[in-house]
Structure 1
Amino acid sequence: MSVEEKAGQVLMPVYAGTDAEAQAAAIERLHLAGSIIMGDNIPLDARGQADPAAMTAVNARLAKAAKADGRPWPGLIGVDQEGGIVTRLGAPLTEWPTALSYGAAGSAPLAKDAGRALAAEIASLGFTVDFAPDADVTIGPADPTIGARSMSGNPDAAGTLAVAFSQGMQEAGVLPAVKHFPGHGSVTVDSHQDLPVQPAGIAELEARDWKPFRAAIAVGMPMVMTGHIAVPALQPGVPASLSGPTYAALRGMGFKGVAVTDALNMGAVQQQYPGGSAATAALAAGADLLLMPTDVGEAHTAIVSAVAAGTLPAARLDEAAVRVATMMTWRGRATSPPAGSAPAGAAPGSGADTSARVSAAAVTVLSGHCDAPIVEGSIRIAGGSAQDRARFEAAAAKAGLGTGAGPLVSLIGYAGRPVGGDIAVALDAPWPLQDSTAPVKIALYGRTPGAFDALVAVLAGKATAPGKLPAAVGSYPAGTGCP
């Protein structure tokens, strides 16, 4: 490969709008690894829902562009599809609850089933990479960015569940990217806006934030994403994604796969590294795949120029390009269907039953009855969004529970405040329950139709609430729940 081809092989850009032709042309011209698909790239049908056929066509066009220069490995067609709030592809694809649901359910086999079901649907649309799961260990309400995107506040549980989810994804033919090393769940600033600083020393990081990554590396996960977090114990003032000592720490754990940066167009990086400088700095530090540079042409030129000037060793670019190509070659071999058979994948929406099982296993009662109906006959509903209330009413109607009278169920949506009423239900992170005055407190960790079915079943006494708090909520310790 030429230097220009290698420089393209380590870049994975974003584009604007639903017309992918300009992106396909850029992939061909600059020999790019592929493309990430964001929310505004997703074609919609007449109802405003994702159009699976049109999305498949877009991805096929981008994949074709990635192979236009004759490379034998498939392109990277990626998406952020974690479930919960970070979901690019909505209906008719399956809607998934938050990742914290897996910690509440406490079942690695269930997490693996979910990873497989989620990935199978996006694989059928032509995606080869999903930038999930989130292996960050949340510290609770002081964590403004990750929150319910974390699987648990317990490092060991977070590692076990992230590994299981990732293995399910791989079984469906999609490459996971375990994120965000060196740990984004224990910093108090959002890296989309500014540069968070992780004050913990190495011993504390090893005991908490790094445990899930060690677990993922131990079983051979192919990709780890680095976050835009400054760790003074490693390199003061420099985002981990652009820090040599951070990549050295990651490799020191035995990681031999692809190290991918978080999006290079985020505030934490752009303020310090304008133009193409972020791409060359990350590559020089040890990154292998550079995600979403602000201007991919500028980044490509900067890499080629840096190699020519000797400021970026040619061997470092070679190493990065080889890692990316190797990963994609391996994925292509591992997921190729037998000759004459249809490609692997699953119909949009086919994971709905698995999603519902996750929520039914996760619903957690912090205070209230565990062995009798919490409500009888009818309920009143407040809070949440209009869609939340409509879904709750639909679930209640299916279960024979009336609405408009009776105990007041107050829903707390994403980043919501504490509430009163008779029953407080947190639909995302459970932290607002700690100051809610309702005598009954329930953590649901999701707002899918299946999650509301699980909530109604518990309220009506038709099902138990098996979930346990995956992280402390005020005076309620981790592990709180019905016996």
Structure 2
Amino acid sequence: MGIDPGLRRLALRTLLAAFTGTEPPAWALDLTAEGLAGFTLFGRNVAEPGQLARCTAALRAARPDVLIAIDEEGGDVTRLAHAVGSPYPGNAALGAVDDVAVTERVYRAIGTELAGLGVSVDFAPTVDVNTADDNPIIGTRSFGADPARVAAHAAAAVAGLQSTGVVACAKHFPGHGATVADSHHELPTVDVPAEVLRRRDLPPFAAVIGAGARAIMTAHIRVPALTGDLPATFSRAVLHDLLRTEYGFAGAVVTDALEMKGASVAAGGIAPAAVRALAAGADLLCIGSDVDAELVARVADEIAAAVRDGRLAEARLAEAVDRAAALAAWTGAAGAQPAPGLPRSVTRPAPEPVDDHLGYATARRAVRVEGVLTGLEKPLVVQVGATSTMAEGRVPWGLGPHLPGAEVHLVAAADADPAALRELAGDRPIVLVGRHLHRLTGARELVENLAATHPVTVVEMGWPSSWRPVGARAFITTYGASFANGRAAAEALGLAG
């Protein structure tokens, strides 16, 4: 028996695909016209503002209500500024500043830029409470380790984004902050009682629901107390009983990318993962970044087949389609009919002019200095290499762009020769720059070896820990590695050009 065309069209209306290149390929436009819910854009789709605006306009020409989403968190996760780094500090820096009015302004500025480029959904803010210093995937994407502080800033971020007409999609439900594994590569486990989640991880989600967030993204994490052996993305107890019933969320539930190992391995592939996520209560399915027409067709056909053979109720698929359509309607015009239970939107105010210096001024407020910053004229700058996560991508970071004419050496911590670096420095001080130095193999030993015989100042641009290197003259924490954070660090050192 063939696939029912009507069910296939319904299935398409729950899918967020992706494509390579800076303009939509023919298959993407064809599927958009057929009813595909929308697309997620990545750095590879962004060359410059004019190009991106043309790209989104081409998609809307195929169907005006197509959803166009992007991961633009500011800070370490940026797609608009992937070539140079974000002009805004990320959540960790905003949490360190702890001024909710500034957080709202930063997110309003991000939303204003996105709206002007034709992007309608921002997969932000990250509202996970980062309680694990060694968390490899959240870290500086979090507002902090205190649930109350994260909740306050999460609500402000949602208000700022959505004031511009851009959907805020808070992530990753029910909380990815206590993990020490990356769900891109495996299925992390948070093995705590449900009461701990309610006290520690869930307050920010309650806050964003109260602030009117239109979308919430699921986490590919296992919480045995709620999900058993399954990831939360496949758990009806999490997506329906907890999020919908207990917390009263009426917007769209969006999955994290189903190509991630935390989901695809558990389900036996992307297409089966899509079925299980829909059955659990998800409404929009991010297929992933490596997508073509064949994959979209395979996923849509699997969803349609699941309805036919009873794995997925047709009423559940129709409910998901309705929520996706309501989200698209809200992005299309002020006053659009929302999903049941959500307040009708009012006429959106015109966005205020963006302050070009907002990001840098905020990043400067976040910088913390321990020790003495003197005698730093013409230092040897040593930047310790660090890998990037799949969420971050390869975005430039460090002090180099902010120190014109300075001597900057890139080293791998595990392979660096302290004696050679001391010889290179001569009688000059050393400024050592890194990200997550406390958990980078060989980094602690390198810093403390240099500091034993040389004046060393450390600039930590990742998630800070309690570790402080023995012998270092000063320790600077920036709470992020964006372009704005780098500039702020250079200014704090008195070295900015």
* TM-score using structure 2 length: 0.80
Give the residue type in structure 2 aligned to 1:237: D
Letter in 2 for 1:236: G
Residues 427 and 302 (structure 1), Cα distance of their counterparts in 2 relative to 1, 3 Å cut:
same
Correspondence 1:36 to 2:40: yes
Asked whether 1:199 is paired with 2:191, we answer yes
2:77 alignment counterpart: 86
Deviations 1:88-107 (A, max 9, x none): 22258953233210111111
Residue correspondence of structure 1 range 291-440 to structure 2 within 5 A: 291-292=286-287, 295-334=295-334, 352-365=356-369, 367-369=370-372, 374-375=374-375, 377-384=377-384, 388-394=398-404, 406-413=428-435, 416=440, 417-418=443-444, 419-420=447-448, 421=451, 422-431=456-465, 433-435=467-469, 437-440=471-474
* Partners of 1:396 and 1:456 within 8 A in 2: no
> Residue 117 of structure 2 is aligned with which of 117, 125, 144?
125
CA deviations on 1:86-130 (whole Å, 9 max, x unpaired) are 212225895323321011111111111110111211221110011
- In the alignment, the residues of structure 2 paired with residue 15 and residue 457 of structure 1 have an alpha-carbon distance, to the nearest angstrom, of 40
Residues 1:184 and 2:188 are matched in the alignment: no
CA shift for structure 1 position 38: 1.5
Q: Cα deviation per residue 1:230-256 (whole Å; 9 max; x = unaligned)?
A: 111112111101111111211121111
Please state whether the residue corresponding to 1:360 is helix, strand or coil: helix
Q: 1:146 to 1:387 in 2, by over 3 A?
A: closer
Residue 361 of structure 2 aligns with an amino acid whose one-letter code is R
Partner Cα separation in structure 2 for residue 179 and residue 66 of structure 1 = 27
- Summarize the alignment of residues 61-210 of structure 1 with structure 2, pairs less than 5 Å apart: 61-67=58-64, 74-90=65-81, 95-210=87-202
AA aligned opposite 2:250: K
Distance verdict in 2 for CA 1:219–1:98, change over 3 Å: closer
Residue 263 of structure 2 corresponds to 269
Structure 1 residue 285 corresponds to structure 2 residue 280: yes
- 2:341 counterpart residue number: none
Q: Residue 92 and residue 381 in structure 1: after superposition, are their counterparts in 2 closer, same or farther (change >3 A)?
A: closer
Letter in 2 for 1:254: G
Q: Following the alignment from structure 1 to structure 2, what is the Cα–Cα distance between the partners of residues 134 and 387? A: 20
The answer as to 2:452 corresponding to 1:442 is no
* Letter matched to residue 51 of structure 1: E
The equivalent of 2:485 in structure 1 is 451
- Once residues 6 and 454 of structure 1 are traced to their aligned partners in structure 2, the CA distance between those partners, rounded to angstroms, is 49
Unaligned runs of 5+ in 1: 43-49, 68-73, 337-342, 398-402, 463-483
Aligned partners of 2:219 and 2:256 also within 8 Å:
yes
- Does the CA-based 8 Å contact 1:33-1:66 persist in structure 2? no
Describe how 1:234-253 pairs up with structure 2 within 5 A. 234-247=226-239, 248-251=241-244, 252-253=246-247
Conserved 8 A contact 2:32-2:66 = no
C-alpha offsets along residues 268-319 of structure 1, whole Å, 9 cap, x if unaligned? 1121222511111100110011112562211111122222333311211121
Aligned partners of 2:490, 2:303: CA distance in 1, in Å?
56
Query: Contact 2:233/2:282 (CA < 8 Å) preserved in 1?
Result: yes
Give distance in 2, aligned partners of 1:404 and 1:169.
50
Structure 2's unaligned 5+ residue stretches are 337-348, 386-395, 408-424
Give the number of equivalent residue pairs. 432
- Residues 191 and 268, structure 1, Cα contact 8 Å, conserved in 2: yes
- Tell me the CA shift for residue 156 of structure 1: 0.8
Query: Residue 51 of structure 1 is aligned with which of 48, 51, 66?
Result: 48
Please identify, of 382-391 and 280-289, the stretch whose mean Cα deviation from structure 2 is larger: 382-391
Deviation at 1:359, TM superposition (A): 0.5
Distance 2:495 2:271 in 1: 59
387 and 6 in structure 1: CA distance in 2 versus 1, 3 angstrom threshold: closer
Distance 1:392 1:57, change over 3 A: closer
1:425 counterpart SS class: strand
Contact 1:119 1:172 in 2 (8 A): yes
Q: Deviations over 1:3-61 (max 9, x none)?
A: 3332221111122333412343342364111111112222xxxxxxx221111111111
| Distance in 1 separating the partners of 2:283 and 2:318 | 10
User: What SS does the aligned partner of 2:263 have?
Assistant: helix
C-alpha separation in 2, matches of 1:297 and 1:29: 14
Read off the aligned partner of 1:81 and give its amino acid letter. Answer: E
For residue 320 of structure 1, report the CA deviation from its aligned partner.
1.0
Give the letter aligned to residue 320 of structure 1: A
- Contact preservation (8 Å) 2:75, 2:86: no
Task: Describe the SS at the equivalent of 1:233.
Answer: helix
Alignment CA distance shift 1:61-1:182 (3 Å): same
2:86–2:483 CA contact under 8 A, matched in 1? no
The whole-number CA distance in structure 2 between the counterparts of 1:30 and 1:272 is 30
Q: Report SS of the residue matched to 1:195.
A: coil
SS at match of 2:334: helix
Normalising by the residue count of structure 1, what TM-score does the alignment of the two structures yield? 0.82
Answer yes or no: is 1:9 the counterpart of 2:2: no
RMSD: 3.0
Q: Which amino acid counterpart does residue 451 of structure 1 have in structure 2? A: N
| Contact 1:136/1:150 (<8 A) preserved | yes
> Aligned partner of 1:176: which letter?
A
In the alignment, residue 359 of structure 2 is paired with which amino acid?
Answer: S
Could you say which residue in structure 1 is the equivalent of 2:215?
A: 223
Partner Cα distance (2:177, 2:359) in 1: 24
Residue 133 of structure 1 and its aligned partner are, at CA, apart by 0.8
CA contact (8 A) 1:118 1:351 kept: no
1:124–1:346 CA contact under 8 A, matched in 2: no
